[in-house]
A and B are shown apart, each in its own frame.
Chain A
Amino acid sequence: MPLSGIDIFKKLPKTNCQECGVPTCMAFAMKLAAGQADLAACPYIADDVRAQLEEASAPPIRCVTIGTGDNALKVGGETVMFRHEKTFVNPPGLGVLVSDAMPAEETDEKLQRLLSLSWERVGMHLKADIAALKAASGSAVSFAALVERARKTGVTNMVLMSADPAVMAEGLKAASGLRPLIYAATADNLQAMADLAREHSCPLAVRGSGLDEVAKLTAQLKDIKINDIVIDTGTRDLHQAFEDQMNIRRAALKANVRALGFPTIVFPCEMTDEPMQETLFAATFIPKYAGIIIMGDLHGANLFPLAVQRMNIYTDPQRPMATTEGIYEINNPDENSPVLITSNFSLTYFVVSGEIETSRMPAWLLIKDTEGLSVLTAWAAGKFVADSIAAFIKKSGIMDKIKHRTLVIPGLTATISGDLEEELPGWTIQIGPREAAHLTPFLKNWKA
């Protein structure tokens, strides 16, 4: 269990020396408990106490990084069971499996797609993250060649898969400097794999059958100071894997079981032969609670839905998604096209712009910064009211783009139209529909 401020205070020097930058030891303890201060700031703490406190203040699920640089994949670090309790932090990595027993063209094709598929959405970059390279032939040479090939294609985040430490060693040489995930240490090869992980400073996956064996393996690794661990519970049954994911998250968060406080890896590609089912299995593990998800194949039709689902689930519910303030042109508007204004809550933007697109009527859509609040909430909070809207209209530059001076406001905020007419002399304020769904008939009948 995480220590309380009082527990931490008991272990501090209680000298109130202020060298940590906080007036009293008590205040410092409280900050530590809240995760707002770093233990290193206290110069007088004894080493054994420091180790104790560090262990106690470590996150319940370790954050593990695979790869290096900006493109590295960070998984784990989660603190809640339900996203509404706070937020999920590190989206699971989506990956594709290739093996050294596959024809070279197939490997190339899959890796090319892995690297090239990406979409922009609400300022987010949607893409796959990692390639799982499997030594299926058993030959170290052919495995090294596969890693080499992937590296040349441009893959930087890798899972290297082999149960044979000798084969793994060759693969790691070919991937040197990339910090791949070593998959996997088992009861049979634990020491040899641990040595490789230490030698190459790579994270290490463990595969056991069931949670008890996994916990035993991770505890052994922790004893020899291997801490960057990823868990595979061994099962390839959908429901068992689902149960394992739930239980690992619970054990780590609710019972502070350190031996299970690591991100997980799942293999939908080995759970079914039906590609569509495989996608649905992956869609199960994105919200519930995998760290890395390896698929048999990724292409636009399955990666796009999964990447969007992942974006949705990992959106921080504490912070509404917002769209950039500005003028949005829809269906090639001209100087006589209608001008509509709404809030910058992303969902509002999506729905309104979508409906205007569907109507096939050209229009200028003004998105006003309302700090991500929806129309009615923004109005109630004073962020979608006459004076600020008028100021935005004037500085937006929309007046240079249109001949008329007519502004359509959301039906829900009809009440501001009078004030707005005063703030915007010369403008006619029109009241739009209350629901975006009714924009099509509105726009079809629109006159300046």
Chain B
Amino acid sequence: MTIDIPRQTYLGSVRTKTIGTGGRAFTIGGDTAFPFCRFEGEMPNAPRIGIQVLDCAPQDWAPACAEPYADVLSDPVAWALKAQNEYGADFIQLWLKSTDPNGLDRSAEEAARTARAVADAIDVPLLVWGTANVEKDAEVLSRVAEECADAHILIGPVDEANHKQLGAKALAHDLSLVANSPIDINLAKQLNILLNNLGVPIEKIIIDPTTGGLGYGLEYTYSVMERIRQAALTQDDQRLQCPFLCNLADEVWKCKEAKMPSDEAMGDAAERGILMEAVTAVTLLGAGAGLLVMRHPEAIRQVRTYIAQLGGFEMPAVVTRPTGSKKTGAAVSGEASAVAERLREGALCEIVKIMDMPIELAPGYAVALIKALDPDDERTGLLLSSGAPAAEEEQRPRAAAPSSEPAPRAAETKPAFKPLSSWEPIAAGDESGPLKNDWRDIVRGRDEKLQHVTTDLHYWYSEGYGSERRKKPA
């Protein structure tokens, strides 16, 4: 008897995304099937695990998870190095917990210095994480983005309430963003559209669906991730094809069951905590997590082994480097850097379009779409001037003379700042890319776009879907 197993039809795939630069950069995403369904599609890249580092000594940590970091808990640089060198973190999440206005309320300046120091010390990619206080995060992460402009960091969480400030900063410094939405497919999509509308390429976005800990809402996260992944793969929704980041470390370890001492009924405290963290990670991996932020080294080791086994990946070698190695990385990447490269070699370029950022977003910054003047090269890219922008007519067309200057900097002409009255967001990269038939091409004007953003196709949960049921999309 031969059974005909029905196959899932997939129309889309998860975007591949390279995290970081240099030798320790890695790639996630690229899935063309549901998580770990290698029998009907590709899962080319293993999910990766980052270790959470705090910028201030943590209070009330369970002894089991404080112990492996006991000697470095008050020094984020040493902590990050230990996580990287001894525990094999694929990336570091620096959680700027001390900036919480309801806690230590440290300044953006101080946070930026810490982030810079950590970025300089480690080789693995760095994700700088705020406190989910939207106003403070906008201030702190903006400052961090400036300070670490050349370190190719990622920042998050970017919320709908601060996406303009942080989106603009990401655009200005060519950073990737972790876009956080409250366990809702429509809000996740809306935030991606809003960021995209601002000019942030969808390729720069990682979705943080908001992670609930084991026993504390994990099922909501699990289902919303499955729903988003379904939309991405079976409905080819290009605005939901970003990889996921799950920030599970604190969600697991802050709950009381992870902190309870060893006893007969609850078993060994350390083993219980490790397994709570690892089981949470496994659940999220099953729903499509690409980046996991974790804490306990043993939980990380177990999950890494598990990923290799279920995904058929080779066990990634844990790379250790002598402490203190510096990181050097190009600030721009992809098409933009390819264009910049040409300019360095003396090729001609044309500024297709220049625009200043809306003054409330990033005063003094301009963005230019430039095109290499080489008949064989149709590439265009997004470059940034860091100074006050010139008026449009003075800039176009402008050919860069052979010189050693890295990129045309509008700032060098130092004209008086003259904001344009309207602005058009532009996407970097090849315009015939996947977003060519994007809705933005068919609507005009900012108001119409915003209208579109709020009324475009939304996903509906099945009839009566719990408390997340909505009559109207948010």
Which residues from chain A sit less than 8 Å from chain B, CB to CB? 82-86, 116-117, 119, 121, 211-212, 215-216, 219, 238-239, 242-243, 246-247, 250-251, 254-255, 257, 259-260, 276-277, 279-281, 283-284, 287-288, 299-306, 308-309, 311-313, 315-320, 345, 347, 350-351, 354, 357-358, 372-374, 377, 433, 437-438, 441
Contacts and interface: CB of A to CB of B under 8 A. Distances in A.
A225 B265 CA distance: 44
Interface string B28-62: 00000000111100000000000000000000100
A247 B462 CA distance: 23
A239 B310 contact: yes
B265 A119 contact: yes
Interface stretch (B106-114, B239-247, B410-418, B463-471): B463-471
B216 A347 contact: yes
Contact of B267 (A243, A304, A350): A304
Given A212-B1, A279-B275, A308-B214, 9 more contacts: A276-B302, A277-B302, A281-B306, A300-B265, A304-B266, A306-B279, A317-B468, A354-B254, A354-B256
15 contacts: A84-B224, A219-B1, A238-B310, A276-B275, A280-B303, A281-B306, A283-B279, A284-B286, A288-B286, A301-B268, A302-B267, A309-B280, A312-B214, A319-B466, A351-B216
Interface string B260-289: 000111111001101110111011001000
Contact of B102 (A82, A117, A358, A441): A441
A280 B462 contact: no
A317 B267 contact: no
Nearest to B263: A300
Nearest to B39: A243
Nearest to A86: B462
Contacts, number: 181
Contact of B216 (A238, A247, A303, A350): A350
A2 to B, nearest CB: 15
Contacts of A86: 462
B325 interface: no
A320 B216 contact: no
B219 A301 contact: no
A268 B52 CA distance: 30
Interface stretch (B3-11, B154-162, B368-376): B3-11
B397 interface: no
Given A239-B312, A259-B1, A317 B6 contact: no
B328 interface: no
B425 interface: no
B402 interface: no
B302 A280 contact: yes
A279 B279 contact: yes
Contacts of A357: 256
A302 B275 contact: yes
A301 B257 contact: no
A211 B286 contact: no
